Chain A
Amino acid sequence: MRCAPVVLMLAASALALSGCRYGQYSDVDLQASVKALQSIAAEGSLMANDAARGRSMTTFMRTHGQDLSDQAEHEAEKMSDAPLAPGIEKRVAKAISLASDIGSSIDDLRVNPRQRKAAVTAAKDLQSYARQVQQLGGSG
């Protein structure tokens, strides 16, 4: 019984610390999504570079690529689904578009993991997306 106040206090602290505002997608959330997308694009580019040099396995490219592509899609869904805080609409729209591009490039890589030319293109594209997403994060 004596534990109850402690548990309640911990739960309240957790909510306060997490900075949750239920229902609204805030600038803080956008920064987190931008960071995640930048990371996905950079990692995808790293993987594509290895594929371009014939230094990876088809199954690994497909399965790990799927994880990255799913994560990009998930970030896009998060941004699309929630009502947006005022003033971030344009950046969110750009981020959603980039998330879609990142996912597509990784999917191209997954479909043709042995085509080295396509992997070179994917690596360049993903590098460029990583830069664009990073700029998006800094432009708030």
Chain B
Amino acid sequence: MSKVFQVALGIVAAIGGFVDIGELVFNTQAGASYRFQLLWAVVVGVIGIVVYAEMCGRVAAVSKRPVFDVVRMRMGLGVGLVTLISSFLINLLTLAAELGGAAIVLHLLFDLSEATFVLIVLLALLVIVWLVPFGGIEKLFGYLGCGLLVYVAAAIHLHPDWHEVARGFVPHLHFKALYLYFVVGIIGAALTPYEVYFYSSGALEDHWTPKDLGLNKANSFLGFGLGGILSVALIMVSAEVFAPLSVDPTYLGTTALGAQNAYGIAGLLLALLGMLFAVGGAAIEAAFSAAYSMAQFAGWEWGKYRGALRAPRFTLTWLTFFLLAFAIVETGVDPVQLTQYAVLFSVVALPLTYLPVLLIARDRTFMGEYANGRLANTIGPLYLMIITAVAVAAIPLLLITQGGAR
């Protein structure tokens, strides 16, 4: 039974990627604009992240090397540095967006100013990260983020046309810029690099060994599978509630309104609670990913499990990131737009992250008996092609659609 509760790492990593503040709004927009037609893109994204997260966890458990270490080792210092800088920028934008997002959720619940709540969120997260062990952080944010399961219940409760839903899972491409923008955004969000930086480093925080490879599989499938189910549910609720009225969701409050429409106040509260912890977890994930990347690139001591004083530069890095992100939010930038841009820009960096992972995971001289099997060796390269296509298309689509505005 205890093994069942050890999937928290996968859940918190997946929730950060699939249902952070940007995705909460992005998925809602996708459902409002195209009803169920984009559900297949979620499945494509989920299969990709399950395959690659499993590889990352396996490489970490077997070689004790997290993803960023692998990137630098396999691709060299130059590419490692480019990846480090891009991951820094993306993590910083994401962290700022999540801090702002958590403040928006509290503002919707308690009606104090958002600026006040940004400070409260910052202090609360700093205290939690400082005092609570890594396993506790995983469980707290992973499980309370599951309040978002209210969207799964709501998706069923709203009696969708199941034939139409089923048709949505069949891949089909319209060559309309806005549709392709959503496809790229949904697949890109599922494969966001900071998820795997966090996941593989988290595996080492949890002291995984080859004995934990079963747990790695469970985390990849259940955690990221759950993230995908939440994404599907958000799209379905939006397709049922907002699409018929031609509502174009641009606020986190609109996403919450979908749950309220199904279950009234109870639905609203569960949705907001789930959002608060999902967004808070994503903030910690982004801050830690930045600190992991920096420490692993520079060869510093790292790891929450070591304690603040035994890994001082690692600790200083995540603290600095929190403070920089706070400064960005205080400029008044819209957190929802910020994270949507962060997702689209992170898509460009996807191949730099996933190519070295694939190369290492299939390398029998490095991984021995734990190297990729036939399935991973088939799906892995296929997804590398998908990732590259998505990376090439991301920025032009962002420009053509003016960030999804048309």
The answer to whether the Cβ of A135 comes within 8 Å of any Cβ in the partner chain is no
Alpha-carbon gap, A35 to B249, bound state (A): 12
Q: Tell me, rounded to whole Å, the shortest Cβ–Cβ distance linking A114 to chain B.
A: 13
State whether B257 touches A46 (Cβ < 8 A): yes
* A-chain residues with CB within 8 Å of residue B109 when the two chains form the complex: 57, 59-60
State whether B399 touches A60 (Cβ < 8 A): no
State whether A42 touches B245 (Cβ < 8 A): yes
A57 touches which one: B242, B250, B268, B406 (CB < 8 A)? B268
Chain B 369-406, CB within 8 Å of chain A: the 1/0 string? 00000000000000000000000000100011010011
Alpha-carbon gap, A42 to B406, bound state (A): 19
The answer to whether the Cβ of A73 comes within 8 Å of any Cβ in the partner chain is no
Q: Interface residue count for B (Cβ, 8 Å)? A: 31
Within residues 253 to 285 of chain B, which ones have a CB less than 8 A from any CB in chain A? 253-254, 256-257, 260-261, 264-265, 268-269, 272
State whether B245 touches A43 (Cβ < 8 A): yes
Within residues 24 to 57 of chain A, which ones have a CB less than 8 A from any CB in chain B? 32, 35-36, 38-39, 42-43, 45-47, 50, 53-57
The answer to whether the Cβ of B206 comes within 8 Å of any Cβ in the partner chain is no
Alpha-carbon gap, A47 to B261, bound state (A): 8
The answer to whether the Cβ of A63 comes within 8 Å of any Cβ in the partner chain is yes
> Which residue of B is nearest A56, CB measured?
B260
B399 touches which one: A17, A50, A71 (CB < 8 A)? A17
State whether B261 touches A46 (Cβ < 8 A): yes
State whether A43 touches B268 (Cβ < 8 A): no
The answer to whether the Cβ of A99 comes within 8 Å of any Cβ in the partner chain is no
State whether A56 touches B245 (Cβ < 8 A): no
Alpha-carbon gap, A62 to B111, bound state (A): 8
A46 touches which one: B241, B399, B406 (CB < 8 A)? B241
The answer to whether the Cβ of B248 comes within 8 Å of any Cβ in the partner chain is yes
* A-chain residues with CB within 8 Å of residue B269 when the two chains form the complex: 57
State whether A55 touches B254 (Cβ < 8 A): no
- Interface size, A (range): 20 to 34
The answer to whether the Cβ of A82 comes within 8 Å of any Cβ in the partner chain is no
> Which residue of B is nearest A31, CB measured?
B406
Q: Tell me, rounded to whole Å, the shortest Cβ–Cβ distance linking B406 to chain A.
A: 7
* A-chain residues with CB within 8 Å of residue B260 when the two chains form the complex: 50, 55-56, 60
State whether A63 touches B265 (Cβ < 8 A): no
The answer to whether the Cβ of B251 comes within 8 Å of any Cβ in the partner chain is yes
B254 touches which one: A43, A57, A62 (CB < 8 A)? A43
* B-chain residues with CB within 8 Å of residue A68 when the two chains form the complex: 251
Alpha-carbon gap, A57 to B269, bound state (A): 9
* A-chain residues with CB within 8 Å of residue B268 when the two chains form the complex: 56-57, 60
> Which residue of A is nearest B402, CB measured?
A18
State whether B399 touches A13 (Cβ < 8 A): yes
B110 touches which one: A10, A13, A59 (CB < 8 A)? A59
Q: Tell me, rounded to whole Å, the shortest Cβ–Cβ distance linking A122 to chain B.
A: 15
Chain A 99-140, CB within 8 Å of chain B: the 1/0 string? 000000000000000000000000000000010001000000
* B-chain residues with CB within 8 Å of residue A10 when the two chains form the complex: 395, 399
State whether A42 touches B246 (Cβ < 8 A): yes
Q: A46-B247, A59-B110, A64-B257 are in contact. Are A32 and B265 (CB under 8 A)?
A: no
B108 touches which one: A13, A43, A53, A64 (CB < 8 A)? A64
Q: Tell me, rounded to whole Å, the shortest Cβ–Cβ distance linking A140 to chain B.
A: 16
Alpha-carbon gap, A53 to B268, bound state (A): 14
State whether B400 touches A43 (Cβ < 8 A): no
State whether A60 touches B253 (Cβ < 8 A): yes
The answer to whether the Cβ of B107 comes within 8 Å of any Cβ in the partner chain is yes
Q: A46-B257, A63-B107 are in contact. Are A35 and B248 (CB under 8 A)?
A: yes
State whether B108 touches A32 (Cβ < 8 A): no
* A-chain residues with CB within 8 Å of residue B400 when the two chains form the complex: 17
- Known pairs A55-B260, A59-B110 / 13 extra A-B pairs, C-beta < 8 Å: A17-B399, A32-B406, A39-B247, A46-B241, A46-B257, A46-B261, A56-B260, A57-B109, A57-B269, A60-B108, A63-B111, A64-B257, A67-B251
A-B CB contact pairs (8 Å), 18 listed: A18-B399, A35-B248, A39-B246, A39-B248, A42-B247, A45-B245, A46-B241, A50-B257, A55-B264, A56-B264, A57-B265, A60-B253, A60-B268, A60-B272, A64-B108, A64-B256, A67-B251, A71-B250
A-B residue pairs, 4 tightest by C-beta: A64-B253, A55-B264, A42-B245, A39-B248
Binding site for A on B (CB under 8 A): 107-111, 241-242, 245-251, 253-254, 256-257, 260-261, 264-265, 268-269, 272, 395, 399-400, 402, 405-406
